[in-house]
A and B are shown apart, each in its own frame.
Chain A
Amino acid sequence: MSLEIRTLSEIMNPPQTADSPLSTQEYFVNMGPQHPATHGVLRLVLKMDGETIREVIPVLGYIHRSIEKMAEYLHGRQIVHLTDRMDYLSALANNWAVSRAVETAMGVQTNPRIETIRTLICELQRVQSHQLWWGVLGLDLGALTSFFYGFRDREEITDILEETTGARLTMNYIQPGGLMFDLHPNFVPRVKAFIKYFRPKLDEYETLLSENVILQERLRNVGVLSAEDAIGYGATGPVLRASGIPLDLRKQQPYGVYDQVEFSVPVGTVGDCWDRYWIRIEEMRQSLGIIEQLIDNIPDGKFMEMKPAAKLKLPAGSFYLQIETARGSLGVFLQGTGEDIPHRCHFRSPNFNNLWSVTKTAVGGKIADLVAIVSTLDLVIPDVDR
């Protein structure tokens, strides 16, 4: 029994066949690893016919940092700080996922204050992440100014989060058993001020881009991903919801205090780039609504349930817990053996699973369509590669 294992260079240099001299020749183009539209170091090998894409081969590994191997040498609290660097735009949600897995494995209960703050701060970061996505979408589609508006408003949330968590991007704030710090006294008034500030700005976003006929034409009926394909390709989060499946872990398997708040799930009808675009815009509004409901109702209590230097012993058994980040469901798999370091730690990253639908949706389109598709998938490449 033997398997033939090909290499990328064999695919890119196929054996020459005796084509007729008049036939058009397909050629390969490397998009990436350093390309402005691939959001980092994703490499897409494109088989092109003129400007039309015939095949997309994603090549990963340009930022594969072996986080899973490293996690086999670290204990729970240390793994949390690594997850900041995976999906750095949802760093808090990543922290929460690992913390939740460790807490579930150890059977630690957290008090309502911790859960409320976690929910609140993750929703803030969801808004922040979508703001960045909106800006970068504009950049990818050539509307540079939207990029600056998105980042300008993102800075407001960054300021709020920085004041509480002590860092701007890689926060390491949600810890197994609680939080790193208590809320900053300025947090509540500043969040309220932000919501007041941001709602009109969101309308302005829609005037600037959503209404724009060029953007609509660039996104409408581009990269259509059917519901069946979306499920088959393991898509989650906004990408899955855009295909018409109202699946949101915050509703399906409520964690934190999501079962106590009311919000709607935006769902697409066609599954094209436009649906993915609109869903993220609407999610920002829904997240603002969640924050508004929670901001006045933060219960009192401790912010840490464990001793800070307590040993995090994982019992023997496997634990898989999911969290809805801004990009989909992040799953954390921990295999404990009774030690404090896990035998195996695996992350089901939403971006890794969302990425692969591009091999289907981009075929037959133009390069510009591919840019729009990659942009609306909202990929964070370090999370794909881990």
Chain B
Amino acid sequence: MQIWSPLYRPSIWSFRTSIGNREVGMDMWQVTTLAARIQESLLNQDFVRAGIFLGGGLAATVAAVSLLGLVLVYAERKVAAHFQCRLGPMRVGWHGVLQPIADGIKLFLKEDIIPTEADRLLFVLAPFFCILGMFLAILVLPVSPEIQIIDLDMGVIFLAAVSGFGVFGVLLGGWSSNNKWSMLGAMRAAAQIVSYEVSLTLALLVVVMFSGSLKMSEIIQSQAAGWWIWRAHGVGLVAFLVYVIASVAELNRAPFDLSEGESELTGGFHTEYSGLRFGLFFLAEFINMVLASAFAATFFLGGWMPFHLGDWQAFNAVMDRIPPLLWFVGKTSFMVFLFMWFRWTFPRLRVDQLMALEWKFLLPVSLVNLLVGAAVVLSGFYFFS
């Protein structure tokens, strides 16, 4: 009967917030995941329905990722252009909307070069590692109450474990290319991601402490009275800033794009990649940016949870009119825009400054923040506790 016992807990939907006497959990925020739907179908011996859910979910994920990649490439180029007083793609379709499609077709049809001296197997595998890490992280992403693939009990731990996966791809790609610049880039990326993983996880721990759960849906529901970024007297804000800095570093985006460093390393780890394989790296980078933004939104900005102010019933009711998916998309787009804004404003750090920033500044700050956060949680001294 209980086939996937860790995943199956029929009673979790009855979550109830502790704010006042208002019932928000049960009727409004019914959380359903794809895994739960499949499981339900299996329990009802409805294998066709389970198959449809499985196949549909898979197809929808891949389609969403591809579409998101295209949209993001276009968005990045347009946003960059407007930061720089120019127009960006204009000539393919209306305001150049077909530009990423042209790029995609071109990359797909390009000659695929594997250098003679490269380690063929690893060279071919490396981009797929990047893509794999990306897809694993998508598994626990709560997009809206209805759209989530699987709601793991240890979602945060899974995320922390999986988010370092992409570095395997970078490392393998850099090493197998047999190019000194690639090697330097890969080494930088490895050092950078291993270091910043620490403060990234510490920043997440603060939220885990406040919400008392490792589960994505519960973390979001714990923000029904307000988002953690402002409810905790600055602790949340500091954790958010640390998370943003660390995730920019994890993403290898400017100002932390040392592993690519176009003006230093001529492309870094993907110097030797061409055509479709380079396209996969490109795609993984952009999707990872969305994922980092989405998780920042989930942990600190309430995910799909509308903007609530404690028990102000009237205000909250107005906010609830906006569907959760829109909230999620809005918050994620804001974060994505923030990342782009950083990229097109700041110069790049040097490699030793990068390490110093992590070990001498971010790590102490996030540790102290964690302690303060623990005190805040224990004393219950935060808004709408």
The answer to whether A and B touch in the complex, with CB atoms under 8 Å apart, is yes
Q: A367 within 8 Å of B by Cβ?
A: yes
Q: A212 within 8 Å of B by Cβ?
A: yes
Chain B binder among A92-100, A137-145, A186-194, A250-258: A137-145
Q: B86 within 8 Å of A by Cβ?
A: yes
Task: Tell whether A366 pairs with B85 under 8 Å between CB atoms, given A142-B257, A371-B263.
Answer: no
Cβ contacts B243-265/A at 8 Å (1 or 0 each): 00000000000110110011111
Q: Are B347 and A35 closer than 8 Å at their CB atoms?
A: no
Q: Are B351 and A141 closer than 8 Å at their CB atoms?
A: no
Q: Are B347 and A368 closer than 8 Å at their CB atoms?
A: no
Residues of B within 8 A of A143 (CB): 254, 345-348
Q: A19 within 8 Å of B by Cβ?
A: no
Q: Are B262 and A218 closer than 8 Å at their CB atoms?
A: no
Q: Are A145 and B264 closer than 8 Å at their CB atoms?
A: no
Residues of A within 8 A of B345 (CB): 143, 145, 208
Q: How far is the CA of A318 from the CA of B244 in the complex (A)?
A: 65
Q: Are B255 and A214 closer than 8 Å at their CB atoms?
A: yes
Cβ contacts B332-355/A at 8 Å (1 or 0 each): 000000000001111111111100
Q: How far is the CA of A41 from the CA of B266 in the complex (A)?
A: 14
Q: B30 within 8 Å of A by Cβ?
A: no
Q: Which residue of chain A has the shortest Cβ distance to B349 in the bound complex?
A: A214
Q: Which of B83, B343, B348 contacts A141 (CB 8 A)?
A: B348
Q: How far is the CA of A371 from the CA of B184 in the complex (A)?
A: 15
Q: Which residue of chain B has the shortest Cβ distance to A148 in the bound complex?
A: B84
Q: How far is the CA of A218 from the CA of B263 in the complex (A)?
A: 14
Q: Are B85 and A142 closer than 8 Å at their CB atoms?
A: no
Residues of A within 8 A of B80 (CB): 144
Q: Are B346 and A142 closer than 8 Å at their CB atoms?
A: yes
Residues of A within 8 A of B106 (CB): none
Q: B9 within 8 Å of A by Cβ?
A: no
Q: B180 within 8 Å of A by Cβ?
A: yes
Q: How far is the CA of A142 from the CA of B184 in the complex (A)?
A: 17
Residues of B within 8 A of A141 (CB): 263, 347-348
Residues of B within 8 A of A144 (CB): 80, 84, 254, 343-344
Residues of A within 8 A of B85 (CB): 148-149, 152
Q: Are A149 and B84 closer than 8 Å at their CB atoms?
A: yes
Q: A197 within 8 Å of B by Cβ?
A: no
Nearest-CB distance from A40 to chain B (Å)?
Answer: 13
Number of A-B contacts (CB under 8 A): 79
Q: A36 within 8 Å of B by Cβ?
A: yes
Cβ contacts B347-374/A at 8 Å (1 or 0 each): 1111111000000000000000000000
Q: A181 within 8 Å of B by Cβ?
A: no
Q: Are A142 and B254 closer than 8 Å at their CB atoms?
A: yes
Q: How far is the CA of A144 from the CA of B350 in the complex (A)?
A: 16
Q: Which of A129-171 contact B (CB under 8 A)?
A: 138-145, 148-149, 152
Q: A27 within 8 Å of B by Cβ?
A: yes
A contact residues, total (Cβ < 8 Å): 29
Q: How far is the CA of A371 from the CA of B265 in the complex (A)?
A: 10
Q: Are B84 and A371 closer than 8 Å at their CB atoms?
A: no
Residues of A within 8 A of B348 (CB): 141-143, 214, 218, 368
Q: Which of B84, B263, B352 contacts A145 (CB 8 A)?
A: B84
Q: How far is the CA of A367 from the CA of B259 in the complex (A)?
A: 12
Q: Which of B254, B255, B264 contacts A371 (CB 8 A)?
A: B264
Query: A143, A144, A145, A217 — which one has the most chain B CB atoms within 10 A of its CB?
Result: A144
Q: Are B351 and A51 closer than 8 Å at their CB atoms?
A: yes
Q: Which of B58-86 contact A (CB under 8 A)?
A: 80, 83-86
Q: A29 within 8 Å of B by Cβ?
A: yes
Q: A249 within 8 Å of B by Cβ?
A: no
Q: How far is the CA of A55 from the CA of B345 in the complex (A)?
A: 33
Residues of A within 8 A of B263 (CB): 36-37, 139-142, 371
Residues of A within 8 A of B266 (CB): 35-36
Task: Tell whether A366 pairs with B346 under 8 Å between CB atoms, given A148-B86, A214-B255, A371-B263.
Answer: no
Nearest-CB distance from A16 to chain B (Å)?
Answer: 19
Nearest-CB distance from A39 to chain B (Å)?
Answer: 10
Task: Tell whether A366 pairs with B350 under 8 Å between CB atoms, given A37-B263, A371-B264.
Answer: yes
Q: How far is the CA of A145 from the CA of B350 in the complex (A)?
A: 19
Q: A209 within 8 Å of B by Cβ?
A: yes
Cβ contacts B74-115/A at 8 Å (1 or 0 each): 000000100111100000000000000000000000000000
Q: A115 within 8 Å of B by Cβ?
A: no
Q: Are A369 and B86 closer than 8 Å at their CB atoms?
A: no
Q: Which of A36, A51, A152, A212 contacts B347 (CB 8 A)?
A: A212
Residues of A within 8 A of B84 (CB): 144-145, 148-149
Q: Are B351 and A368 closer than 8 Å at their CB atoms?
A: yes
Q: How far is the CA of A149 from the CA of B352 in the complex (A)?
A: 29
Q: Are A142 and B255 closer than 8 Å at their CB atoms?
A: yes
Residues of B within 8 A of A371 (CB): 263-264
Task: Tell whether A217 pairs with B264 under 8 Å between CB atoms, given A27-B180, A145-B83, A209-B347.
Answer: no
Cβ contacts A207-239/B at 8 Å (1 or 0 each): 011001011011000000000000000000000
Given A141-B347, A215-B347, 7 other A-B residues pairs in contact with their CB atoms under 8 A: A35-B266, A36-B266, A51-B184, A51-B188, A143-B254, A148-B84, A367-B265
> Which A residues lie at the B interface, using CB under 8 A?
27, 29, 35-37, 51, 138-145, 148-149, 152, 208-209, 212, 214-215, 217-218, 366-369, 371
17 A-B pairs within 8 Å (CB atoms) are namely A27-B180, A29-B180, A29-B181, A35-B266, A51-B188, A139-B263, A142-B257, A142-B348, A144-B254, A148-B86, A152-B85, A212-B346, A214-B346, A214-B347, A214-B349, A218-B349, A371-B264
Shortest beta-carbon contacts, A-B, top 9 = A142-B348, A148-B84, A143-B347, A141-B347, A368-B350, A37-B263, A140-B263, A36-B263, A145-B344
